[in-house]
């Protein structure tokens, strides 16, 4: 049976190599913003694949990583700040968010679920595993997502 055809933009499988094995569990469209801007740094993709592999091994079954937010524009950031506030004013949105396109696709907000029954992997479990593979992780958001980025391994040009 052939894979389904999507009429969506950015429907491209993203391939990376983990310990000599080619893996491709993500598509570019998972990293796009509402306007269709999509960007993912190779270090982010590799880290996400490693987290997926580790969680699946821990659970003894397939775990899916769901990207809830990735690259953002300044307009995206302002819209989010209108909802959640700026961090320097006690909110949840950083003015210099690593999600911004100027950082080259180094950040993602994610959740993880068991493929079998869609049960959510606990936020703290996901955060702990992310800390093995990402430079910076925040896992105390009220909605249960985890922010992870590779701000030191994937520094864009000044």
Return the closest-CA partner of residue 111 out of 145, 141, 142.
145
pTM of the entire predicted model: 0.90
The answer to whether 111 touches 132, Cβ cutoff 8 Å, is no
Question: What's residue 157's pLDDT?
Answer: 53
Q: Which fold has domain 13-148?
A: Muramoyl-pentapeptide Carboxypeptidase; domain 2 (3.30.1380)
Element of type H or E holding 14: strand 13-18
Q: Which residues of the chain have pLDDT under 50?
A: 1
| Residue range 12-45, pLDDT digits in tens | 999 999 999 999 999 999 999 999 999 999 999 9
| Residue range 146-157, pLDDT digits in tens | 999 999 987 655
Looking at every residue in the chain, the average pLDDT score rounds to 92
């Amino acid at each position: 049976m052939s894979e389904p055809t999507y009429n969506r933009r950015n429907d491209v499988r993203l391939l990376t190599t983990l310990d000599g094995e080619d893996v491709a569990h993500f598509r570019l469209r998972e990293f796009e913003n509402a306007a269709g801007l999509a960007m993912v740094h190779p270090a982010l993709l590799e880290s996400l694949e490693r987290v997926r592999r580790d969680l699946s091994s821990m659970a003894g079954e397939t775990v899916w990583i769901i990207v809830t937010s990735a690259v953002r524009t300044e307009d995206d950031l302002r819209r989010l700040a209108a909802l959640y506030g700026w961090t320097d004013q006690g909110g949840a949105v950083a003015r210099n968010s690593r999600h911004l396109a100027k950082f080259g696709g180094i950040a993602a907000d994610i959740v993880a679920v068991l493929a079998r029954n869609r049960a959510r992997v606990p936020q703290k479990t996901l955060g702990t595993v992310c800390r093995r593979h990402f430079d910076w992780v925040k896992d105390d958001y009220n909605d249960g997502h985890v922010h992870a980025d590779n701000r030191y391994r994937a520094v864009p040009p000044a």
